[in-house]
Each structure stands twice: as C-alpha cells, then as structure tokens.
Structure 1
Amino acid sequence: MSGVTLTSVSKKFGEVEVIHDVSMEIAQGSFAVFVGPSGCGKSTLLRMIAGLEETSGGRIEIEGRDVTREEPSNREVAMVFQNYALYPHLSVFENMAFSLRLAKASKEETKAKVEEAAEILQLTDQLKKRPKELSGGQRQRVAIGRAIVRQPKVFLFDEPLSNLDAELRVQMRLELARLHRQIGATMIYVTHDQVEAMTLADDIFVLKGGYVQQSGAPLDLYDDPTNRFVGGFIGSPAMNFLPGRVEAVQDGRMTVAIDGSDGARMEAARPAALSQGDAVVLGVRPEHLDLAETGPRVRVEMAEALGGVSYLHAKMADGRQVVIERRSIRDRLEGEEVALTARPDDILVFSPEGERLR
C-alpha cells in the first residue's frame, strides 16, 4: 500500500511556478528522501504534503485518502523542523506532551505515550530538564519525540540535522535509521546533503528547479544516473566529467579524444546513437580512475590522506578539476603530473546537453 501518493502536483507563488507536475508514490513504511540543491523545491513539496502550503494543482493522498484540501491537523502527519521549535519554558516531558494535552488526552495516556517515546529515543533520564540544559542532538530527539507521541501515519523531516556539528550528524543519522526500523512508519526527509540521502533512504527523489530528475534506490541512482545532474549530485566526491569527441568506433567500443588534454584518449562503451565526430561528455567516478602511463594528463594540486583512502585533487591543462580516489596508498603526489585511465565499462556517456546516452 502507498503511504503517500502525489499525482501531477504543482505549486505557484503568484505567476511563478516552483513545483512542476510532480508525481510520485512512496510505499507505506518506507524512508523516502527529497534531495537537491538549495531552491530546488524540496522543502516546498514537503510543506505541501504537510498542508502548510496550498497545492496549486494535482492531488495528494495519504494511505489512499485524498488530503489535498485537508487542514494540516487532519492529515495525520507530524513534522520535525531544523530549528527544533521547542518551548524553552517547558520541560522535556511537557514539550513532548504538548500536542496530546491540546487533544485532551487523559493524564494516564499522555504519561504512557511520552514515556514510551522517551525510551525509544533514550531520553528517559532527561524528561525533567528544560531545552537549554540539553545538547543539540538531545533537543532534536525531543522534537522527534513530540512527533512520535502523536502516532502519525507519516513523519516529515525538514533538514533536521543541519544545525548539528559533524559528529552529531553522524550519530543522529544512525538514530534516525534505528528509529525507522523500530517504529516502521512512513518517513519523508528533506536534505541538501546527499550523504544523508544515500545512508538513510529506501528511495531518493532528486529534485532540480521544481522537477523530479530521477527517483529510485540510492545505489541505483549512484550506478545508473539518468542525466549529468543526477550523476554529479549523487556521490561524494562528485563524478568527474570529461568532455571530448568520438574519434573512432569499433565492436561496441569507442575511442574519445579528451578536450584540453593534447589529444589524449580514453576508451568507453559506445552508445548506439553515437558515431565518429560526435561530441560527448564522459562521466567517471573518482574510485574508477586509476593512474597510468598514457591517457589524459593532470597535475595533482592537493592530496587528502584520510588513512584507508586518499583523494587526489588534480587539474587538467584547461583548468578542469578532477578527483581521483586511491585506497591504502600514502604517496601524496602533490605537484606531480600523472596520466589517467579507467575501465571502459566504468565510464558513463552523456550528451553535451547532459542527457545520459546508452
């Protein structure tokens, strides 16, 4: 059964359309992530599902019920914001119980639900404290607990970790994943951080300019992006893009002369539509690049040695940046010129306009 279904949903602010004919189906109990750069429409889309923004066109359903024109309080959703939105004068218990008291739940029911949520979130010994006495991670857990006690059909998270430091973000990602497994509710999560998307999601929806560019399982998007934008956005470090021109074709393979590399060549699988002389852009993940005797030459500007893995940040003669991933190798190579190679089957091919060619 679908947890949330959007059918041809659009949103306008005045004459400006910011969400364009978006349709998606999010399975009940799954963890979906909306990801994309700032201004792509992901938070607006989330707020439309919550009922905090009106829908200009299309239909929104939650577990089969049309909620497009329903008030937020009637949609059976709970939203967690990045700024926690806690009441500073209330205790943790009182913050988590607030919505239940508004709904006139009994004291016994309120106590039971708050204590259950606190146990799930490891907040039992914090219930008497005020928000100012808590760490950032604990405050975010209180905000999540306030949502849990409502027992919604859908949890909505709007960049909930963006105010936390790097270590806490990692910890909270683990806690959110554990929480999802434990309660099994449908969760929709908005972030601009594709690492969060890759580690948390059952399904990722990549947005740009109010359009869904591609959706699917994280590794499916990583391995098989539908266009250059998705290929470059999903993955850290980002995919390298090397423009060039098809020089020769033979037996399902093609040789591409790479621009800005003094005629150096790389071999890739040949999409059916391409022929000699066509312009292309080769997409290569940093982990698929290797050092070789021949190939496009780059100068290593900086090496990030992280222990088990190193990232070489290099520049081609035309100024194009390239990142090479190397494992268990400590040579920094800074200032040296090296040549690059990759297995043909690890190279993706795009048109100059960004469309994936297969």
Structure 2
Amino acid sequence: MTGVRLREVRKSFGSAEVIRGVSLDVPKGSFGVFVGPSGCGKSTLLRMIAGLEDTTGGTIEIGGRDVTNVEPAKRGVAMVFQSYALYPHLSVFENMAFSLRLARAKSAEVQRKVGETAEILRLGDHLKKKPSELSGGQRQRVAIGRAIVREPEVFLFDEPLSNLDAELRVQMRLELTRLHRQIGATMIYVTHDQVEAMTLADQIFVLRGGLLQQAGRPLHLYDDPANRFVGGFIGSPAMNFLEGTVASGAGGLEVRLEGLDHPVSIVPGTAGPAVGDRVVLGLRPEKMRLAEAGLPATVEMIEELGGVSYLHARTSTGRDLVVERRGRREGLEGTTVRLAADPGDILVFTPEGERLR
C-alpha cells in the first residue's frame, strides 16, 4: 500500500491554465474522491497522477517516490476508465489476464491471480463468457478485475459508473466499498456526482476551476464547508441561500433579508460579521422547519419519497427554498407557510462566498 502526494501541481494547455497549484495528500490505504462540476480539472488531475498528462509544474509522489517525470508503466498505478474498454473477442478470463500475458507471466501465476480476482469480484461463473454476454455492472467488474491482477500500488477510477443505470450505480458503489475494504489498496476516484463522493470516500477533495476548494471527510465537508461553493455543492438537496444585511436585534445579531419583513437571528463567529455587513445565509433543508413565526413562503410542489418529503417553496422575492420533512404527508401545495431554523444551524458567508466562522 502507498499514498499519493501532490505539491503545487500545475497544468497548462497553451495559455490556458487548467490546474492552478493543487496540493493534497491521499493517505495510503484510503479511498480519496476528486469531485466537482464539469470542467473543474478533476479528470485532468487524475490523468496527471497516472502519467497520461504531462505536468507543467509541481511534483507528484507515489509512496514517497517522485514520479512527476516517470513514464506511466513505471508509476505502479492502474486506471479504470468510464468506458469498459474490453476486448470483445476475448473471454472474461483472457480480458483479465491480458496484462499478465504481456508481462510473460507463467501460466500458473495467471491462473492464480485471475482466479483470486474473479472470486473477489464474484465473476467466477462468468470467466468463459464474452463481454457481450454480460450486464453493464459485470463488464465494469471485469474492467476493475483487469486492474487488480496487475497488483498496482494505486487504483485510479475515472467516473467508472457513469454508463450504468441508477440501480446498478447504487449496487456498484456498494461493491467498490467492499472491494476497498477487502484489498486495502489506495484508491483515487473521480466523479461529478456528490452522492457518489459522500458514500464512497474516506476523504473528499472538492475542485473548482482548477483549484482545491476544501479537503476532508465527507461529513466534515457537509457540516463545516469552507465556502459557499462547497456548501452548495456537497449535499442533496442543495443548501438554501438567502441574502441580507446584518443588524442588531433584541437577542444579538440578526439578518434583515432583502425584500422580506422577517429578520433571521444568527450566532456571530469570531470573524464577524458586523452590523451593516452584507451577508449570505446558508440553511440545510433538514435544518429548516415549519413554525408559527418565521419566513413566509408559498409551497409550490412537494416531492413525496415515502419516509421523507421535500417541500419546494418560494418567497415573495422569488427565492426558492427546499425544506426536508420526515413522517408528515399533509397536502400543503399552494399554501403559505412560515419557515424557521435555529440560529446555531445557520451558516454565514460573505457576498464573495467566504465562510464567516
């Protein structure tokens, strides 16, 4: 097992800088996930670790060894792509054994490694089949198995579940988690799906515009985002945001929201804000509740999901809000409700998106 360390890594395509000085550590044996919107640089960063993209600046270390200028085959990594890239004319066994054959491994070693890997991935009954005879999830497992038999130091996954339907994606997330626990290898996974990131990762690295926004355990990023972007990106449904101006109130500081007559009490952090400051409030859907006194909003739609429902409401100023409710199914569409949250559950950001703690 080994870890991956990046120090001030940069990547430019001509005059366009797409990775802008990223430093991070993926501890050995951990499952790290690069997440962010399309175009944020996460796949480029993964390809740089693999050696498939040159590094413009900075250093990449794998297991304490500087591999910045080492060719891909000598980095000790194996990559699983979004497309399965299986050889259609070869059996599952031969697809998984292909790299071992190229390395001139002995037949007994090939049989052992492929057999052990097939058992891990529950492919033992499919070794004689061709890829066309497999489901999408089984094909993806074959692609993963092809990487496992190489016994790499680090596994790299580039959105490997994107081609699967919703049910298979959930199943494969569970299987990847089991696989990681079973073989204990260092894994780095790229996705734009924050649900995948939250469910798979030991540590999440949130990227935006080629910059690392925040790194940490999934629930740490959810509970304590460093900025508005992380707060809005991590979590489903997304965090609600309301703009206003800080004023003094009977119980301390409160925020007077734009165009609305209901002030919202906040708990000021050590970094402010001060009276008169413009701020943005962040409220998680599950932290909001219906109350007798609170922010007025009209319920436009309710997503009924069984044990949980999501109220989609809109304020008189056109601000959309989502409220999570559990165990309540009364029809509220078209009615005006009052929404409230405890001051300690409200996050405060600057208009530029920085967190005020």
- TM-score, normalisation: structure 2: 0.98
Determine the structure 2 residue equivalent to 1:315: 314
- Greater alpha carbon shift after TM alignment, 271-280 vs 342-351: 271-280
> In 2, Cα distance between the equivalents of 1:87 and 1:204?
33
Kindly indicate whether the alpha-carbon contact (under 8 Å) linking 2:154 and 2:185 is maintained by their aligned counterparts in 1.
Answer: yes
1:278 aligns with 2:277: yes
Kindly indicate whether the alpha-carbon contact (under 8 Å) linking 1:249 and 1:275 is maintained by their aligned counterparts in 2.
Answer: no
> In 2, Cα distance between the equivalents of 1:219 and 1:332?
32
Q: Cα gap change, 1:215/1:323 in structure 2, threshold over 3 Å: closer, same or farther?
A: same
> In 1, Cα distance between the equivalents of 2:316 and 2:131?
54
Kindly indicate whether the alpha-carbon contact (under 8 Å) linking 2:85 and 2:143 is maintained by their aligned counterparts in 1.
Answer: yes
> In 2, Cα distance between the equivalents of 1:91 and 1:353?
55
Give the count of matched residue pairs. 356
Q: How far is 1:249 from its partner?
A: 5.2
Determine the structure 2 residue equivalent to 1:215: 215
SS of residue in 1 equivalent to 2:169? helix
- Greater alpha carbon shift after TM alignment, 300-309 vs 179-188: 300-309
Q: How far is 1:260 from its partner?
A: 3.1
> In 2, Cα distance between the equivalents of 1:89 and 1:299?
59
1:267 aligns with 2:281: no
Q: How far is 1:77 from its partner?
A: 0.3
Q: How far is 1:2 from its partner?
A: 5.8
> In 1, Cα distance between the equivalents of 2:47 and 2:341?
43
Q: How far is 1:257 from its partner?
A: 1.1
Kindly indicate whether the alpha-carbon contact (under 8 Å) linking 2:2 and 2:154 is maintained by their aligned counterparts in 1.
Answer: no
> In 2, Cα distance between the equivalents of 1:41 and 1:193?
14
Kindly indicate whether the alpha-carbon contact (under 8 Å) linking 2:33 and 2:197 is maintained by their aligned counterparts in 1.
Answer: yes
> In 2, Cα distance between the equivalents of 1:197 and 1:190?
8
Kindly indicate whether the alpha-carbon contact (under 8 Å) linking 1:222 and 1:231 is maintained by their aligned counterparts in 2.
Answer: yes
> In 2, Cα distance between the equivalents of 1:109 and 1:249?
74
Kindly indicate whether the alpha-carbon contact (under 8 Å) linking 1:249 and 1:270 is maintained by their aligned counterparts in 2.
Answer: no
Determine the structure 1 residue equivalent to 2:15: 15
> In 2, Cα distance between the equivalents of 1:346 and 1:331?
26
> In 2, Cα distance between the equivalents of 1:348 and 1:77?
40
Determine the structure 2 residue equivalent to 1:32: 32
Q: How far is 1:174 from its partner?
A: 0.2
Q: Mapping of 1:212-251 within 5 angstroms?
A: 212-248=212-248
Amino acid at match of 2:292: E
RMSD: 1.1
Deviant stretches of 4+, over 6 Å? none
Deviations 1:252-278 (A, max 9, x none): x411111232x2111110134222221
Q: Mapping of 1:1-358 within 5 angstroms?
A: 3-248=3-248, 253-261=252-260, 263-272=261-270, 273-358=272-357
Q: How far is 1:303 from its partner?
A: 0.4
Kindly indicate whether the alpha-carbon contact (under 8 Å) linking 2:2 and 2:153 is maintained by their aligned counterparts in 1.
Answer: no
Q: How far is 1:332 from its partner?
A: 3.3
Kindly indicate whether the alpha-carbon contact (under 8 Å) linking 1:256 and 1:265 is maintained by their aligned counterparts in 2.
Answer: yes
> In 2, Cα distance between the equivalents of 1:175 and 1:193?
17
Kindly indicate whether the alpha-carbon contact (under 8 Å) linking 2:18 and 2:209 is maintained by their aligned counterparts in 1.
Answer: yes
Amino acid at match of 2:268: R
SS of residue in 1 equivalent to 2:259? coil
Deviations 1:130-149 (A, max 9, x none): 11110000000000000000
- TM-score, normalisation: structure 1: 0.98
Amino acid at match of 1:231: G
Q: How far is 1:331 from its partner?
A: 1.4
Q: How far is 1:250 from its partner?
A: 6.6
> In 2, Cα distance between the equivalents of 1:94 and 1:36?
36
Deviations 1:295-322 (A, max 9, x none): 2211111101111110011111122111
Amino acid at match of 1:94: E
> How high is the sequence identity, in percent, across the aligned residues?
69
Deviations 1:302-357 (A, max 9, x none): 10111111001111112211100001101131111111100110000001110000
- Greater alpha carbon shift after TM alignment, 266-275 vs 180-189: 266-275
> In 1, Cα distance between the equivalents of 2:126 and 2:35?
33
Amino acid at match of 2:228: R
> In 1, Cα distance between the equivalents of 2:129 and 2:48?
34
Kindly indicate whether the alpha-carbon contact (under 8 Å) linking 1:2 and 1:25 is maintained by their aligned counterparts in 2.
Answer: no
Amino acid at match of 2:68: T
Structure 1 unaligned segments of length 5 or more: list them.
Answer: none
SS of residue in 2 equivalent to 1:269? coil
> In 2, Cα distance between the equivalents of 1:304 and 1:290?
16
